Amino acid sequence: MGGWLEAIILGVVQGLTEFLPISSSAHIRIVSTLFGTGADPGAAFTAILQLGTETAVLIYFLPDIAHIVSSWVKALFGRIPRNDPNAKLGWFIILGSVPIVILGLLLKSQIETVFRSLWIVAGTLIVFGLLLGVADILGKRVYRLRDMKVSHAVFYGLAQSLALVPGVSRSGATIALGRALGYERPAAARYSFLLAIPAVFGSGFYELYDSLKHDSPMVFDWAQTGVATVIAGVVGFGVIAFLMRYIAKGSFIPFVIYRLLLGVAIIVLLVTGVLQPS
């Protein structure tokens, strides 16, 4: 059973890393291993922890979400044109959420076991870090959210599904895809956060239900998990505010460099036996 200090620190780590394109699940996996117990907190704990950070998204983007939901409902009942930009965005978020739901259910066993190897985490940190860097440097800045197309929504959804593997980063994969398609940095990041809402809440509540139903053993008790989730949400809100200000002028290259250094460091620690892969 994990302790209070570890749970609190993991909550802070989740809040700091969920929205930056550096993979929160990878950091949760690494930090929990470095605690000395060697215990992986597991996919269930990680999914529940994400409920806190995703609540921060709801609060921060509440005006956007309200407009999207309102327009989607009005367009559905013919009160406004069906091609209204916000209404279309609502459909695109639904469409983009389908791939991760299907793959999440099909690969549930692998997500909870094989995919959590630190060798895979190190590799995905490096590979997808490079992809983010290339996309950010070469990507044009011609599209905003109102220019979203059906094909773009599908590609965004497929990119988000890659986040099922720790080390990829949900925001990193979707932002890289957005930049590669030609979306401005703020637009790519904003859509990435909005797209994550259905998937993260669905995954978190599913894992919560599954744990309660089967009384599954967890590294942390429910009180520790709850406190960690609240902390993750509070810290995550601050990170969203920072990132949206930063990307208005800054690039993603600092995050790319960080991913590469972290991936190489993990490989060195694995080779020298300091860390164990699973």
- Per-residue DSSP letters for the chain? ---HHHHHHHHHHHHHHTTTTT-HHHHHHHHHHHTSS----HHHHHHHHHHHHHHHHHHHTHHHHHHHHHHHHHHHTTSS-TT-HHHHHHHHHHHHHHHHHHHHHHTHHHHHTGGG-HHHHHHHHHHHHHHHHHHHHH----B-GGG--HHHHHHHHHHHHGGGSTTS-HHHHHHHHHHHHTB-HHHHHHHHHHHHHHHHHHHHHHHHHHHHHHT---SS-HHHHHHHHHHHHHHHHHHHHHHHHHTTT--SHHHHHHHHHHHHHHHHHHHTTSS---
| pLDDT given for residue 109 in this prediction | 79
- Is the confidence at residue 42, as pLDDT, over 60? yes
CA pair distance 244, 136, nearest whole angstrom: 16
Rg (CA), the chain: 18
| pLDDT given for residue 43 in this prediction | 64
Please state which of the ranges 8-17, 118-127, 135-144 shows the lowest mean pLDDT.
Answer: 135-144
| pLDDT given for residue 197 in this prediction | 93
| pLDDT given for residue 84 in this prediction | 93
| pLDDT given for residue 67 in this prediction | 94
| pLDDT given for residue 36 in this prediction | 59
Instruction: Check: CB of residue 132 under 8 Å from CB of residue 146.
Output: no
| pLDDT given for residue 202 in this prediction | 86
Q: What is the mean pLDDT of the chain?
A: 88
- Is the confidence at residue 2, as pLDDT, over 90? no
Please state which of the ranges 129-138, 167-176, 218-227, 253-262 shows the lowest mean pLDDT.
Answer: 218-227
- Return the higher-pLDDT residue of 83 and 35: 83
Reported confidence tier of residue 39, pLDDT bands at 50, 70, 90? low
Cα 81 to chain centroid, rounded: 32
The average pLDDT across 225-237 equals: 95
Reported confidence tier of residue 131, pLDDT bands at 50, 70, 90? very high
pTM for this structure? 0.86
| pLDDT given for residue 155 in this prediction | 95
Over residues 67-123, the pLDDT tens digits come to: 999 999 999 999 999 889 999 999 999 999 999 989 988 887 777 677 778 899 899
- Is the confidence at residue 50, as pLDDT, over 90? no
Please state which of the ranges 16-25, 45-54, 112-121, 235-244 shows the lowest mean pLDDT.
Answer: 112-121
Residue boundaries of the structural domains of the chain: 4-271
